[in-house]
Chain A
């Protein structure tokens, strides 16, 4: 089951650490009443040379739920391979 544009082997990194926090955006200069929760993730990834980089990103709750759902699918598939 291969993708049509497969990245070269050494472009893949290993996940070294996964940190998260659940935050609530309350207010900002563009909108005084934001009130939305978000999931902030900090990944530590090591490339093939061993160099560790930090990658941060945020997800809205629906985005997180989709993310979680996809990981469950991955887990289900990897179990059967």
Chain B
């Protein structure tokens, strides 16, 4: 089977191995598990393999003798396209050791009285954050904000967004 001997990086040959098996032997399907077991043990240079690089590589392979057909190249290309995001996301989740934000739900109450103080007709926002570390159960954090606080947070978040815009606009 030619796929196993292709040059151009261990991760790719692992991927192609798995795909070749599927193509030639009709294995039920390439699951993310199989893909992971092929790719992860290798020293992965990049999970963000440039799609253009892959296309170029595959095209070159179709031209080689004993290489892959252009149909196979198309399958591989399509497969990588659809799985790349999932793999990347999985790698991102695994390398984040803090809690992640799993969910956010909220409601706004028109509060007329509270246990702690005699506020009249003060609207409050109640926000529930669902946090969780990779592979662990969620922790729920319930917070109460008045209008002033909501606007303070909003201002802070706009600063964050500005920061992000600056980062993205910088060429690296």
Contact = CB atoms under 8 A, between A and B. Distances in A.
Contacts of A37: 164, 167-168
A64 to B, nearest CB: 7
Contact of A58 (B46, B99, B153, B161): B99
B150 A60 contact: no
Contacts of A24: 167
B79 to A, nearest CB: 19
A29 B69 CA distance: 35
B149 A15 contact: yes
Contacts of A13: 141-144
Contacts of A9: 114-115
A48 B106 contact: no
A32 B43 contact: yes
A41 B117 CA distance: 30
Contacts of B105: 3
Q: What secondary structure prevails in chain A residues at the interface with B?
A: mixed
Interface in A49-81: 55-61, 63-68, 70-72, 74-75, 77-79, 81
Interface residues of A, number: 53
A15 B143 contact: yes
A74 B94 contact: no
A71 B94 contact: no
Contact of A25 (B95, B126, B153, B157): B95
A14 B162 CA distance: 26
A3 B125 CA distance: 12
B165 to A, nearest CB: 10
A14 B99 contact: no
A12 B156 contact: no
Contacts of A38: 96
A25 B89 CA distance: 13
Given A32-B46, A55-B131, A78 B150 contact: yes
A31 B41 CA distance: 10
16 contacts: A2-B107, A3-B105, A11-B142, A14-B143, A22-B167, A34-B92, A34-B95, A37-B167, A40-B98, A55-B99, A57-B101, A57-B129, A66-B104, A68-B158, A74-B125, A74-B127
